[in-house]
């Protein structure tokens, strides 16, 4: 039996078995003027193009039994659009899962309850450490992992006028880590202004917060340094006037007073005035270096500077019964620097060595060309520095001698380190208790023009 109720192009694409089954189904379900069963079939047209058709049949009672009819709809465009939509959804889901952000779409009931419609499960787990089922089995419950102090920040405002908003708050991940999140959200409203949908995107901004906090801390520290520098400079200048008056008066009394006891007292006063003047000078030097005021850079010949500094320190070494020797490599290259501050730094290293080297000890000032840098080395046979103290040796006002039985303010090494930094160099120390210390100042060689 041949069934001809279908269009010829459709019949050619279907087997006789398909047509028979389709027709018999229509006979079983068909009623007068009522559509029967509908099926979709993929066929190949005469031009070779694949199509999707929807077939519907109907059966109408007649004197001979039933008359069969059919309606055939070309559904190809609808199916193509649906396939494109499915492909697009799959593509966007892949992109969303690859993103560092977590995306969620929720339906909002009339009573305000929220129910998840769609979400990026992998991104949400990466963000929180929880699976979606653990975090929100029946809706959206991010509040449960927000740290208590921030829960007030993670409240949605669904006022229509507010539009798209964002919140920043901390959460506690499943592994216990505290992380910063930025959550952007937007409500969709019906004509009455009632929220019906909620769209969410959450991202981890912990690293951004860390950078911001470091920048703020750096800014505050810089401001503190500026204020302290300004105070030190102003205070130091104010100290200079009374110190100058004291010096003049001491000079006068030295000449007019002949009593031995009075002269001894004047000598002690003179020593203390010089000590205070030295402290003021050290504070001014350090504050100037901290202020990032430009250095007066010029070519510096260490072949001349180092012997001169050694000669200046010979008197102090002789007074301390310490031998100071010079050992320079020949023809040291020039460096670009501020001669005044470089001299201060090296003089401080020598003075520090003299103070902490016992009688009969030795101090050696040496220098060598390493190619890119010149290494200026001050080596002594002093008491040495304990390993636990070494990390603090360049701190301001830090004294190895906690009893303060030796002279100094604890600023000399700090100044030397700051001078090294301002000249793009570095300073470090090696020491062993009972054997002495080696301070190394490395300065970059002046580039050839």
Q: 261 and 147, same structural domain? A: no
**Same domain (yes/no): 306, 402:** yes
- Asked, for residue 89, whether it belongs to a domain, the answer is no
Query: Could you tell me which of 399, 432, 433 has the C-alpha nearest to residue 413?
Result: 399
CATH number of the domain within which 234 lies: 1.10.287.130
Helix (H, G, I), strand (E, B) or coil at 260: helix
Q: b/e for 31-56, b at 16 or more Cβ within 10 A?
A: eeeeebeeeebebeeeeeeebbbebe
- The domain boundary, picked from 19, 48, 78, lies at 78
Residues 47 and 169 in one domain: no
Report phi then psi at 212, rounded to 5.
Answer: -60, -45
Residue 160 included in any domain: yes
pLDDT of residue 425: 94
106 and 71 in a common domain: no
* pLDDT score at 307: 95
Assigned token pair, 46: 């005469």
- Reduced to 3 states (helix: H, G, I; strand: E, B; else coil), residue 360 is coil
Q: Does any domain span residue 1?
A: no
The domain boundary, picked from 263, 290, 317, lies at 290
Structure tokens that stand for 341 in this block: 């501050």
- Other CB atoms within 10 Å distance of the CB of residue 92: 12
The last residue of one of the domains, among 48, 78, 108, is 78
In a domain, 254, yes or no: yes
310 and 438 fall within a common domain: yes
374 located within any domain: yes
Q: Say which CATH number the domain at 196 has.
A: 3.30.450.20
Residues 303 and 416 reside in one and the same domain: yes
Give the chain's domain count.
Answer: 4
The whole-angstrom separation of Cα 156 and Cα 112 is 11
Contact 165, 185 (CB under 8 A): yes
pLDDT of residue 138: 46
> Distance between CA atoms of 374 and 427, rounded to whole angstroms?
12
Which positions of the chain have pLDDT values less than 50? Answer: 1-3, 5, 30-36, 95, 97-98, 138-139, 403-405
Instruction: Read off the pLDDT of residues 78-121 as tens digits, 9 standing for 90 and up.
Output: 776 776 666 666 555 554 544 557 777 888 888 878 787 777 77
238 and 328 part of one domain:
no
CATH (domain of 426): 3.30.565.10
Reduce the DSSP state of residue 385 to 3 states and report it.
coil
Residues 309 and 386 in one domain: yes
Q: What is the pLDDT of residue 60?
A: 63
* 23 part of a folded domain: yes
341 and 372 fall within a common domain: yes
In terms of domains, do 324 and 422 share one? Answer: yes
What residue spans of 257-398 are helical by DSSP H?
260-290, 302-319, 339-355
Tokens of 196: 């019906």
Domain ranges, residue 129: 99-204
Residue 379 maps to a domain: yes
Residue 229, CB-side half-sphere exposure with 13 Å CA sphere: 15
Domain membership flag for residue 363: yes
pLDDT at 2: 43
Is the torsion defined by CA of 403, 408, 409, 413 positive or negative?
A: negative
Phi, psi of 69 (to 5 degrees): -135, 165
Q: Does residue 190 sit in the same domain as residue 223?
A: no
- Same domain, yes or no: 271 and 335: no
Q: What is the pLDDT of residue 236?
A: 72
Q: Phi and psi (nearest 5°) for 260?
A: -65, -40
Q: Say how far residue 105 (Cα) sits from the centre of its chain.
A: 31
Place of tokens 């009374």: 242
Find the farthest-apart pair of alpha carbons in the chain and give their distance in angstroms, rounded.
Answer: 157
Look up the pTM and report it.
Answer: 0.51
């Amino acid at each position: 039996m041949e069934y001809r109720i279908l269009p010829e192009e459709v019949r050619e694409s279907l087997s006789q078995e398909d047509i028979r089954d389709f027709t018999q189904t229509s006979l079983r379900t068909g009623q007068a003027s009522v559509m029967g069963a509908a099926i979709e079939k993929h066929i190949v047209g005469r031009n070779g193009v694949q199509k999707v058709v929807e077939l519907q049949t109907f059966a109408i009672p007649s004197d001979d039994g039933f008359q069969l009819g059919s309606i055939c709809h070309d559904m190809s465009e609808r199916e193509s659009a649906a396939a494109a939509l499915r492909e697009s959804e799959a593509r966007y889901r892949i992109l969303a899962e690859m993103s560092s952000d977590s995306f969620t779409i929720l339906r909002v009931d009339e009573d305000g309850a929220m129910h998840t419609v769609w979400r990026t499960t992998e991104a949400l787990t990466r963000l929180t450490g929880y699976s979606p089922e653990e975090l929100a089995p029946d809706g959206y419950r991010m509040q449960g992992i927000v740290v208590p102090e921030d829960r007030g920040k993670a409240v949605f405002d669904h006022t229509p006028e507010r539009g798209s908003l964002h919140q920043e708050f901390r959460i506690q991940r499943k592994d216990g880590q505290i992380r910063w999140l930025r959550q952007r959200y937007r409500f969709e409203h019906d004509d009455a202004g009632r929220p019906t949908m909620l769209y969410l995107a959450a991202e981890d901004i912990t690293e951004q917060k860390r950078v911001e906090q470091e920048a703020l801390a750096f800014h505050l520290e810089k401001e503190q340094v500026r204020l302290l520098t300004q105070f030190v400079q102003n205070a130091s200048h104010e100290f200079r006037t009374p110190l100058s008056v004291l010096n003049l008066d001491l000079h006068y009394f030295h000449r007019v007073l002949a009593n031995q006891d009075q002269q001894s007292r004047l000598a002690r006063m003179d020593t203390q005035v010089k000590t205070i003047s030295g402290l003021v000078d050290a504070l001014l030097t350090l504050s100037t270096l901290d202020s990032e005021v430009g250095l007066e850079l010029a070519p510096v010949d260490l072949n001349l500077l180092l012997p001169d500094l050694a000669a200046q320190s010979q008197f102090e070494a002789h007074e301390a019964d310490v031998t100071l020797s010079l050992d320079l490599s020949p023809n040291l290259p020039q460096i670009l620097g501020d001669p005044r501050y470089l001299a201060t730094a090296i003089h401080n290293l020598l003075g520090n060595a003299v103070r902490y080297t016992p009688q009969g000890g030795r101090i050696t000032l040496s220098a060598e060309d390493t190619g890119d840098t010149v290494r200026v080395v001050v080596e002594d046979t002093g008491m040495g520095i304990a390993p636990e103290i070494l990390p603090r040796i360049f701190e301001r006002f830090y004294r190895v001698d906690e009893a303060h039985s030796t002279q100094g303010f604890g600023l000399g090494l700090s100044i030397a380190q700051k001078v090294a930094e301002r000249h793009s160099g570095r300073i470090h120390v090696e020491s062993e208790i009972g054997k002495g210390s080696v301070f190394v100042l490395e300065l970059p060689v002046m580039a050839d023009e």
